[in-house]
C-alpha cells in the first residue's frame, strides 16, 4: 500500500490525507477557516476507522487526489 491516500466523506466537505495505517490528517471548512486535525491512531477503533476509509467501507468515503485536496484547501 502506498501512502498518502486521499479520501473525503461522501456528500460533506470533510477531507482526509491518510499518512499510514496509524495516522491521518482531517481537513474541514468552517466559514472561511480550514480546521486541521492530526490523528495518530493508538487504539483499535481509530485504526479500524483508517482501514474503513482506505476501503471506502459502506460507501461513506470517496477516493480523491492530492490535487483535489489542494483545490479544496486553497479555494
Do 13 and 28 contact (CB within 8 A), yes or no? yes
User: In the chain, what is the straight-line distance between the N-terminal and C-terminal CA atoms, in Å?
Assistant: 30
> Which residues, 6 or more positions from 20, have their beta carbon under 8 angstroms from its beta carbon?
3
pTM: 0.94
Q: Where are the alpha helices (DSSP H) in the chain?
A: 44-55, 66-74
| pLDDT tens by residue, the chain, 75 residues | 899 999 999 999 999 999 999 999 999 999 889 999 999 999 999 999 999 999 999 999 999 999 999 999 998
Amino acid at each position: 500500500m502506498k501512502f498518502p491516500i486521499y479520501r473525503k466523506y461522501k456528500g460533506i466537505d470533510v477531507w482526509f490525507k491518510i499518512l499510514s495505517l496509524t495516522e491521518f490528517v482531517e481537513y474541514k471548512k468552517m466559514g472561511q477557516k480550514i480546521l486541521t486535525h492530526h490523528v495518530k491512531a493508538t487504539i483499535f477503533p481509530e485504526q479500524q476507522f483508517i482501514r474503513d476509509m482506505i476501503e471506502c467501507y459502506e460507501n461513506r468515503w470517496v477516493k480523491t487526489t492530492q490535487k483535489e485536496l489542494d483545490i479544496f484547501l486553497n479555494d
